[in-house]
Amino acid sequence: MSETQQIISSLENELSLQLDKSINLEELTIKLSEWINRLIQHDFNKLVRLLYKVDVSESRLKSLWKENPNEDAGRLIASLIIERQIQKIKTRNYFKSNREESGEERW
């Protein structure tokens, strides 16, 4: 499974989204941005809960907003969500490979 497909699967699970598995990372960013912008306009509290659930860094988000005041907020948030999903995937893969190398059994 490609990294983009892993990101899509992860987002579907964590955010309860239905996404086309064949889209590329740029298309994913656009779709996620549009969805986030709708949440900003219509259900900001849900967006905040989702950012907490995905574990997006509040300080990183504030920093990005300061650095890019004219950038679309949905796009900034989407990029942070995707960045966080990539970190989670890399962490899972790291621990999975270390467990396999050591011959450690799963609980």
Condensed to tens digits (0 to 9), the pLDDT of residues 11-37 reads: 898 888 888 889 999 999 999 999 999
Residue ranges of the chain whose pLDDT lies below 50: none
What pLDDT, on a 0 to 100 scale, did the predictor assign at position 55?
A: 93
Q: CA distances (Å), 65 to each of 38, 51, 69, 74, in order? A: 18, 15, 5, 11
What are the structural domain ranges in the chain?
Answer: 3-95
User: What is residue 103's predicted lDDT score, i.e. its pLDDT?
Assistant: 62
Paired tokens of 105: 């059994």
pTM of the predicted protein model? 0.84
Per-residue model confidence (pLDDT) at position 101: 63
What's the pLDDT at 38?
97
